[in-house]
Every structure is written in structure tokens, then in C-alpha cells.
A and B are shown apart, each in its own frame.
Chain A
Amino acid sequence: MAADGTADVETRARRDGAAAGGTAEIEIVGLTKVFGRGSEAARALDEVNLTVRRGEFFTLLGPSGCGKTTLLRMIAGFEQPTRGAIRIDGRDVAGLGPNRRPVNTVFQSYALFPHMTAAENIGFGLRMLGRPRREVEAKVAEMLRLVRMEPMANRRPAAISGGQQQRVALARALAPRPRVLLLDEPLSALDLKLRKEMQGELKRLQAETGITFVFVTHDQEEALTMSDRIAVMDRGRILQVGSPRAIYDRPADRFVADFIGDTNFLEAVVVRSVGDAATVRLPSGAVRAASVPEGLAPVAGGRVTVVVRPEHAALAEDGELVGVVEEAVYFGTDTHLHVRLDTGGRFTLRRQNMAGDHAPEPGAAVTIRIAESGLRVLRP
């Protein structure tokens, strides 16, 4: 659905702001959360620093238990930090209850009020803010239209499907026009087809409203396709923040490389290192250029781990790696070849299937060529 002209302009202005470095919507400084006491204390968040820009679709990505939901709940005000500060729109929100923060949440379980109709649910926030009845009614009608739920306005949550409940939950959280919308794995309860549909729907809603979205997920594909920027988390820490492309192509450490997409790790020795570029010697003896994460200055002669994505390598007459195909897995559009390298270790590469050709059979000896700029040094 196309938004009306003014909304479009406003959205674009916000977008441009975000792209140009933008104004900070949420600033998180030194945030630490410890649950429990003494020997049972568990550190859910450890010195987290983060800036979410105005109008962007920001994703917190990590495995369960990494602290992403705790971080979301602290932004919403459901949990109080042990240390550190959270600023929303420049204002420190320490000590403010969830009802006094310009932030709304879409819960994983939707948490729709079962004793209210869809329309009453959507109008709840505005009623609590004490807006005049006429304004609430107009806004509810607008929201029902926005999430295409007009025919279900007077149904109770129990009488509508999961996907429809999801839309109502979204409309309810968007209706008061918060500065930030927090989404706690909102798509995890939907089946695959509906999830794909809602991913598009979320992107559309974000574009139309221009509201900053902070989205929590453990699904890397969801994160890559939807986000403007992603923060990858593990064990209470933020490991890397960047655009989907930067996170995928230039992972900073082993966890990020491993968590997102399929990855090959190779042990290498640093030959030379200048700024964000280095030359490394692979186990086969081949010497190649590799990119280096910001701030990491590998020492010449030191051992490092380098990463190669399966699609950044191809079979060739002449290449850096030599081995024997162990297994060939057919995926329709491409085939994954699992190769045992002569120097030890395994390597997976993705080979696009062409009409008429066929992939090497298991047992075939192959030579692999790594693409230009396909190598990246990881943080130890």
C-alpha cells in the first residue's frame, strides 16, 4: 500500500537522517544486568553500549539466552538495570515505569486483552493517555485500515486467527505513535508462509509510519532480510553492529561468522599487516590478501583464523585449496560440495547448478579457488 504524500516525505526525511548517521533515538551506555545474588548471580547483560538511530529498523540477533530479550525489556521499562543508562530521545529513562516511556511493545505471545474486541485493544493506549473519544475512534479506524483488519474490528482475540492477532497487536502498539516500537520475536509463533507475509508487512508498516523499530530475533535470515542494522549478541555482550551486508561479508569474530550463514574456517599465518588489510599464508602454502576487522592489528608471523563464505569460493583449474569431494548435496538452484582438504579440515562450497552440467561426484579430486576479497581475518 502506498502511503499518502506527506507521510512519504516524512519517512524519506527520517530515512535520510538515519542513513547519514542520523540522530540517536536510543542511547545505551554501560548497561549491565545481574539476576540473582552471590553465587547464583547470572550476568544477563555485560557493559552493553549501543546507539539506535531515529527511524531505522534495528535488529538484536542472537541465540536464546544471549540477553537480547532482557535488553528489550529494559528499554520498555519492565526490568531495571543493575548499572548503566538508557536514553530515549535524549532523555534518561532511569526509574520511569513502562507507562511513562514513549515506547510500545509487541509481545511474543501478542498479549491481547481477551475481554476486549480488536478495536478496544487497539484504542487502549490512547484511552489510557486520556485522548478525547472522537480522536481515539478516528485513530482506531485508521489503524484497522493500516493492518487491514476492518472486518474483524468487533471480534474478540479468541475469535480471530494467529496472524490476525499479530496484526491487532501491531496496531495496538502503533496506535499511540510511540517514538520506538519494540518487537519481541513477534513472528516466531506463525507458520512459514504467514511469517514471510508478516515480514513484508512489518517492513511496509515501518516505512509508512517512520517509527524506529527494535526487533528481537534468533532467526538470522529474518534479521538479514528485514534490518537496516543488526547487533549480534552472545552471552550478554554485543559482538558486532552493522548493516546486514557488513555483518555477513565482514564478520568480526568466530561467533558472528558461525551464527550467520554457512562458514568455512581456515587456520593461517600472517605474512604482512597494514591497516585493515593483511596478507596471510594458507595451510596449502598459498599467500592471499585478507580483510581485517577494525582495530585489530595482526602481528606478522602470528597464527589467525580466516573465514571464507561457501559462495566466495569456486572449483577451478588452479587454486589455493586442494582436496577430495566427500559429499555433494543437491539443493535445486545450487549444490553444496563438502570437500576434505589435503592439508586437513573440511571446506564447504556452494556451486550454482547450470543447465546440462553436473557437479563432481564424491571421491573426485578438486581444486578450489577463493574469490578476490573472499578472505577475512577474525578476532582471536
Chain B
Amino acid sequence: MRERGFSIARIPGFGVVAALTFFLLYLPIVTLVVFSFNEAASLSRWGGFSLHWYETAFRNAQVRDVAWRSLWLATVAAGLATTLATMAALATTRTSRFKGQTMIYALINQPLMVPEIVTGVALLIVFAAIRVQTGYYGMGYLVLAHTAFCIPFAYLPIRARLETMDLTLERAAADLYASPWQVFRTVTLPLLLPGIVAGFMLAFVISLDTVVITEFVKAAGQDTLPTWMLGQLRRQVTPELNAIATVFLMLSVLAVTVFFILSRRRP
């Protein structure tokens, strides 16, 4: 233990506050998971263990439909966002400093600063105009909106990885007769890959989770899992929602774990 210096852990009541925080944070999630295995149709009264609600959720064509849409959207949007974020990260770290670099950095991270509702409304207005002009009502709008929203989440881990990467490695490759493209393909990209996968995972989870923007942008019949679940709340609520949320939770935990492991691995 260090003798001197400020330690927040020694403030009276710190332990209690910490315990309470974790309790409040995780109790609802634990409750959710527990009641997903409820035999009864109640969210508050325990009626014995059963996988019944997982079965009904799985058999529900509507759930399958929106779940696939969510996964498809998250995969495509995260893929696009990661590609763009990789290019942006390379352009902001592997070039000599240029005028307006800080502004570009702020622009890339804009979705982190601007409230989602503002982005949602803005997208609604622009996309409505485009819809009228072109008559196109497909998934393109959602893909575009999710991609833009996910870029900073993919960008940050990729950039962090690039910044810790030893520049002499790229020099060494160039010195050994690799053209700029070969340097990228044989040295930069393989070493950057954990960062890219981490960025993809994070973007994937964010897209899977987004409600506000989807709500504003989606056309009829384009519900994703979160917006569909939100809609269900207005009707009768059964532990089926718990079951879906639990599966969802597991998927997110898995993705975040992969992200965590990959972003910790040293280059």
C-alpha cells in the first residue's frame, strides 16, 4: 500500500456506494435473465424453471424476421464502418501533420458528441426528401445511418492500435524492397488486424443496440429487434421478451469480450 497521496477508496462510505452501484446496475439484468426461465407468464411471480419462452420466441416468425434484420444490418453497417474507419485512422496517423487535422478528428467523432435524437431527426428530414425524390424505400437508409453512427466506435480502437505500432517496422519493410502497397499488406495490415476486429466488434454491438436512430429512419416493415421489442411493450408483456433480451445480452457480451481480448493484445 502507498503511504501518501489521495486515495478515493479511503473515503468513508466508499465501499457501500460501490456495492450499491454494482447492485443497482446488475440486479435488473439478473432479474431479467432469471425470469426468462419462468414457467409462468408473469414477469414478477416465479412459477418454476422452463425453457418455454425461449421456444416460443424461437418459433415466433416475427422475432426471427426482426432478429435476422438486426444481425444483417449490424454486420453490413459494422463492416462498412470498419473499412471507412481503418482508412480514416491511417490518414490521421500515417501522414505528416496537416492543417485541419484536429477538425477532421472532431468530425469523425461527431456522432459521439451530438445527441442521438438530433442525428435521428436530421436523418429523418433528409431521408424523407430523398425518398420522395427517388421513390427508394429500401434498407439503404438504415445501412447508411448505422454506418455513419458506428464509424467513431470502430475508429477509436484502430487508431489506438496504429499509434502504438512501431513505425520502424514499416521503414524496415520499405528498406527491404517492399512497395508502399506491399508494406501495407505484409506489415501494417497484419499487425493492425486485432485493432480492426476489435473495432468491428464494437461497431457491431453499437449497431445491434441502436434504437433512437433506427426508430426515426426505418420505413414500414423495417423493424429491428430493439425497435420491435419497444413496440411489444405497448401490448401484453410475457417472459418471451426476457428470453430474447437474454440471447441478445449473451451476443453482446461475447462481442465485447472479443473486443476486450483483442484490444489488450500487444503488437
Contact = CB atoms under 8 A, between A and B. Distances in A.
Interface stretch (A8-16, A109-117, A262-270): A109-117
A129 interface: yes
Given A109-B166, A111-B166, A111-B169, A104 B191 contact: no
A76 interface: yes
B173 A104 contact: no
B172 A111 contact: yes
Contacts of B179: 99, 128
A107 interface: yes
B258 to A, nearest CB: 19
B165 to A, nearest CB: 10
B113 interface: no
B166 A99 contact: no
B178 interface: yes
Given A111-B169, A113-B169, A105 B177 contact: no
A115 B191 CA distance: 7
Contacts of A113: 169, 172-173, 187
Contacts, number: 63
A55 interface: no
Interface in B35-79: none
- Among B171, B180, B267, chain A packs the most CB atoms within 10 A around the CB of B171
Interface string A96-110: 011110011101010
A128 B172 contact: no
Interface residues of B, number: 19
B182 A98 contact: no
A112 B190 CA distance: 14
Contacts of B172: 105, 107, 111-113
B175 A98 contact: yes
B96 interface: no
Given A111-B171, A113-B172, A128 B177 contact: yes
Contacts of A125: 176-177
B128 interface: no
Given A113-B187, A115-B191, A128-B182, A99 B171 contact: no
A105 B175 contact: yes
A99 B187 contact: no
B176 A78 contact: no
Contacts of A173: 175-176
Contact of A111 (B168, B180, B186, B191): B168
B267 to A, nearest CB: 7
A115 B186 CA distance: 10
A167 to B, nearest CB: 16
Interface in A167-210: 172-173, 176
A99 B169 contact: no
A248 interface: no
A100 B182 CA distance: 13
A251 to B, nearest CB: 34
Contacts of B186: 124, 128
Nearest to B170: A111
B168 A107 contact: yes
B33 interface: no
Contacts of B175: 76-78, 98-99, 103-105, 173
B211 interface: no
B242 to A, nearest CB: 44
A203 to B, nearest CB: 23
B229 interface: no
A214 to B, nearest CB: 13
A124 B168 contact: no
A176 B173 CA distance: 13
B34 interface: no
A112 B173 CA distance: 9
B191 A114 contact: yes
A365 B190 CA distance: 72
Contacts of B168: 107, 109, 111
A246 B211 CA distance: 79
B200 to A, nearest CB: 19
B174 interface: yes
A314 B257 CA distance: 75
Interface in A212-247: none
A78 B177 contact: no
Contact of A104 (B176, B182, B267): B176
B191 A128 contact: no
A176 B191 CA distance: 24
Interface of B: 166, 168-169, 171-180, 182, 186-187, 190-191, 267
22 contacts: A77-B174, A77-B175, A78-B171, A98-B171, A98-B175, A99-B174, A99-B176, A99-B177, A99-B178, A100-B177, A105-B175, A107-B172, A109-B166, A111-B172, A113-B169, A113-B172, A113-B173, A114-B169, A114-B191, A114-B267, A125-B177, A128-B179
Given A99-B177, A125-B176, 9 more contacts: A77-B175, A97-B180, A99-B176, A105-B171, A107-B168, A109-B168, A124-B186, A128-B173, A128-B178
Q: Which 9 A-B pairs have the closest CB atoms?
A: A125-B176, A111-B172, A111-B168, A128-B177, A98-B174, A128-B178, A98-B175, A99-B177, A105-B175
